[in-house]
Amino acid sequence: MNSATSGATATAAGGGGAVAVPGFAIGGAAVNGSAKTTGTVQSLAVTSGNGTAAGGAGTSANANSGAIAGYGASAPGASVSGVAAGDAHSTTNNAAVTAAGPGGGVAYVTNTSGTNSGYNASSGAISGPGGTATGTNSTAGSTGSSVYQNAVVSGNAFGWGNGGGTSGSASAGSTANAH
């Protein structure tokens, strides 16, 4: 028995706008994000007597997501501008191999991985007769897990797994200006 599953998800968003009239300007931008991967492999080899068996399974998945949003507006006496951006990357590579026999043996290997990235950025600015104000918010996140389980190796058998290689990264940034 050999099985492999894989997956990749990437989402992105953006949005920004600004308006200005003489003496007053306002604008804002928002960006979202996500990148996810999953991967599971299983390999099983069972023999008895002089039989031999071998098997292997592998998965690979990549997810990349990026978004950027900006704004800008100006009028006599007031101007605003800003940018919100983020990106995320997740990758999973899984492999499992088993072999058994001759002489009888059992080998069972599983690999499980998962990554989860994210990003979130926002920007806002206002300029008016009372002065100027700006605000930014930037977040980023990356999680990853790998589970290598050599459930059974007995008799004349061999099992190997790469530990469910997984990696992920995320970044976010934002700027805001008002004059």
Q: Classify residue 12: in a domain, yes or no.
A: yes
Range of the domain at 137: 2-164
Q: Encode pLDDT of 28-81 as tens digits.
A: 999 999 999 888 888 999 999 889 999 998 888 899 999 999 999 999 999 999
Contacts of 9 (CB under 8 A, 6+ apart): 34, 35, 36, 37, 63
Q: Max alpha carbon distance in the chain (Å)?
A: 90
In whole angstroms, give the CA distance from residue 14 to residue 122.
10
Domain count, the chain: 1
- Decide if 130 is inside a domain: yes
Element spanning 123, H or E:
strand 78-128
Answer yes or no: are the C-beta atoms of 27 and 128 closer than 8 Å.
Answer: no
Residue 105 located in a structural domain: yes
pLDDT of res. 159? 87
Q: Has residue 13 got a pLDDT over 70?
A: yes
In a domain, 148, yes or no: yes
What token pair was written down for 130? Answer: 């009372």
Q: What does the pLDDT read at residue 173?
A: 96
CA–CA dist 3, 132 (Å, integer): 60
Residue 169 lies in a domain: no
